[in-house]
Homo-oligomer: A and B are copies of this chain.
Amino acid sequence: MALSEKKRALIEKIGVHFEFKGMQPLFGRILGLMLVHERAEVTFDEIVEELNVSKSAVSNALTFLQATGKVAYHTKPGDRKRYFHLPMKDFTSDMEKELMEIVKFEEVLEEVLVERGETNADFNCSLKEFLNFIKFIKMEIPVLIEKYKQQKGS
């Protein structure tokens, strides 16, 4: 299955996307390959061949991606290969985690506020406002996601 030029370009684009999120380049490209691949699943060797990388790199990448829940695999009867794929079932909770990661800063800011003296009332006030805002977002994100699930179900 030779990939089209367009698909190859997309894999690179997806790779860059995940690289921006702190992942190693190859890790993101593997996710990209799974996304654009017709079967939406790839074997170890297919990754090696399509992306032109070493087996060691693929092995490390798959170990990491599986450990972090980004990738899973299934097997087929009478076939020794593993078929790696994206676990698409629960993307909502994935997204929720990502969104909540941003508001994690709340905890640190709370500590900052405790540690700060009273000499700079203006700044302390801004900080408190910011904290209120973060807390608001933190509370509303799960509500938002629940709202989506409701709407979808109806």
Q: Which residues of A contact B (CB under 8 A)?
A: 4, 6-7, 10, 13-14, 17, 20-22, 35-36, 38-40, 88-89, 91-92, 95, 98-99, 102, 104-105, 108-109, 111-112, 115-117, 119-120, 123, 126-127, 129-130, 132-134, 136-137, 140, 144-145, 147-148, 151-152
Contact = CB atoms under 8 A, between A and B. Distances in A.
State the oligomeric state as a number of copies: 2
Nearest to A120: B40
22 contacts: A6-B115, A10-B115, A13-B108, A17-B104, A17-B105, A17-B108, A21-B22, A35-B109, A35-B127, A38-B116, A38-B119, A38-B120, A39-B119, A39-B120, A40-B120, A40-B123, A88-B123, A88-B126, A88-B130, A89-B126, A129-B152, A136-B148
Contacts of A4: 115
Given A91-B129, A95-B137, A137-B144, 7 more contacts: A4-B115, A10-B111, A88-B123, A88-B130, A91-B126, A137-B145, A137-B148
